[in-house]
A and B are shown apart, each in its own frame.
Chain A
Amino acid sequence: MPNLKDLKIRINSTKNTQKITSAMKMVSAAKLRRAQEQAVAARPYAERMERVLGSLAASMAGKDNAPALLAGTGSDQVHLLVVMTSDRGLCGAFNSSIVRQARKMARDLKANGKTVNILTVGRKAKEQLKREFQPLIVGSIEDVGKPRLTFDAAAKIAVQIRHMFEAGEFDVCTIIYNKFKSAIAQIVTPQQLIPFALASANENNAAKTADAQLYEYEPDEESILADLLPRNMSMQVYRALLENAASEHGARMTAMDNATRNAGEMINKLTINYNRTRQANITKELIEIISGAEAV
């Protein structure tokens, strides 16, 4: 029979755990809200950037002097995977689902005879990928969103990627991050960064071409595009980081909610066990007293 004192200790420690997890849940909920606000604030910029870029790209289509960031190097031999995770754990399957996707992509690319390089953003990606892909990791960046995710931090990453590209270290760059759908659902999204694929370029190409002719460009299309593409890259990285931050907090919130609930269930079970044991002890003592009295 379990000792009463041991049970009491277990109940208390589970209660403490529950307090921690529910506090973490609360903190994540607050952080999630902030991350979402930031993502919303970034939207106007992204939308306008996309619109201008769309009309520019449409008017550049068919010309063969498009910048390399848009057109690529003409080869797809060397791939760079930018794997974005969080710095901290305890957020459910958030990190492992990104890493799983990264691993799969790396294996597939290698199987097709391509060269793969990996740039990790966030401590978890590095920790989880280095076991299998240690020689492929060309760099790792940590502490990105501390204390607050800024555009500068994202721009720095983008500049680093761009320098690698200009140095000819890779042909195709893909970022892997979690797209925030809701607090329960995050979607692992690989997004090609270089050469840049316009999301809506094909859908309403005709409309955009019509638009494009209405604009005057100063200095000229090529210069603007050359100026715009690096900015757009920073923006894409920033957006991915924002989505990732929101996803991380969402995932942690859900994970901590589950943990709190499980702790509650465990406390209930343990309390029932404790009460039963206590009752059994009392009954046992009563029997002992009664049988002692009868014997006299």
Chain B
Amino acid sequence: MADQVHFELVSPERLMFSANVGEVIIPGTEGDFGVLAGHSNLVSTVRPGVINILDESARITDRIFVEGGFAEVNGSSCTVLAERAQKVDDIDRLKADQALADAREDLQDAKNDVERAAAAAALEIAEARIHALATSVY
């Protein structure tokens, strides 16, 4: 048990994932980082991307796409708070493409800085989602 990390993925609407796993790879704002048991305490923001969950023999068991959030590593537990998350397998290719096209359009139509920032954020999420699909085999 000592070699396991307790990983939790929490969204405001429910507890999405909670299990003991071998390793978690989290897309931090400053780069991906892996969390193994005994990781030092850390709080980091998370960029839109894929969280890879690995078992003890370093095989990927789950891939979950998050639209940003933040991660807290504390002793042998790791918690990611994400407002929206879904399994990579559940991503609908057509919808993802549509979201990307919409985001691009919004960015062009943006009239002021606030709209532009919102559209840019949406575009980043949409691109990350497509990227998640493209790299489905790690």
Give the interface of A toward B (CB within 8 A).
Answer: 38, 41-42, 44-46, 48-49, 51-52, 55-56, 150-151, 154-155, 163, 214-219, 223-224, 227-228, 231, 234-235, 238
Contacts and interface: CB of A to CB of B under 8 A. Distances in A.
A38 B45 contact: no
Kindly name the residue among A51, A155, A218 whose own CB sees the greatest number of chain B CB atoms within 10 A.
A218
Contacts of A38: 13
Interface string B1-45: 000000010111111000000000000111000000000111111
Given A45-B81, A52-B70, A224-B70, A218 B44 contact: yes
A223 B45 contact: yes
A234 B72 contact: no
A52 B41 contact: no
A48 B43 contact: no
B40 A216 contact: yes
Given A215-B42, A231-B83, A41 B14 contact: yes
B83 A224 contact: no
Contacts of A44: 8, 10, 15
SS class, residues of chain A in contact with chain B? helix
Contacts of B83: 151, 155, 231, 234
Q: How large is the interface on B (under 10, 10 to 19, 20 to 34, 35 or more residues)?
A: 20 to 34
B10 A224 contact: no
Given A218-B45, A219-B29, A151 B11 contact: yes
B114 A224 contact: no
Contacts of B40: 216
B76 interface: no
Contact of B42 (A48, A155, A216, A235): A216
B81 A218 contact: no
Given A44-B15, A227-B70, 8 more contacts: A41-B15, A42-B13, A151-B13, A216-B43, A217-B43, A219-B29, A219-B44, A219-B45
B44 A217 contact: yes
Nearest to B68: A227
B28 A218 contact: yes
Contacts of B15: 41, 44
Nearest to B15: A44
A150 B72 CA distance: 24
Contact of B12 (A51, A52, A235): A235
B13 A214 contact: no
Contacts of A49: 81
A151 B12 contact: yes
Kindly name the residue among B10, B11, B30, B42 whose own CB sees the greatest number of chain A CB atoms within 10 A.
B10
Contact of B43 (A154, A155, A215, A231): A215
Closest 3 CB pairs of A and B: A218-B44, A151-B12, A41-B14
Contacts of A154: 12
B47 to A, nearest CB: 11
Contacts of A55: 43
B110 to A, nearest CB: 14
Given A219-B29, A227-B70, A45 B11 contact: yes
Contacts of A41: 13-15
Contacts of A216: 40-43
A223 B11 CA distance: 21
A238 B21 CA distance: 31
Contacts of B28: 218
A48 B12 contact: no
8 contacts: A42-B12, A49-B81, A52-B72, A154-B12, A218-B44, A219-B45, A223-B29, A231-B81
A48 B29 contact: no
B12 A228 contact: no
A271 B30 CA distance: 77
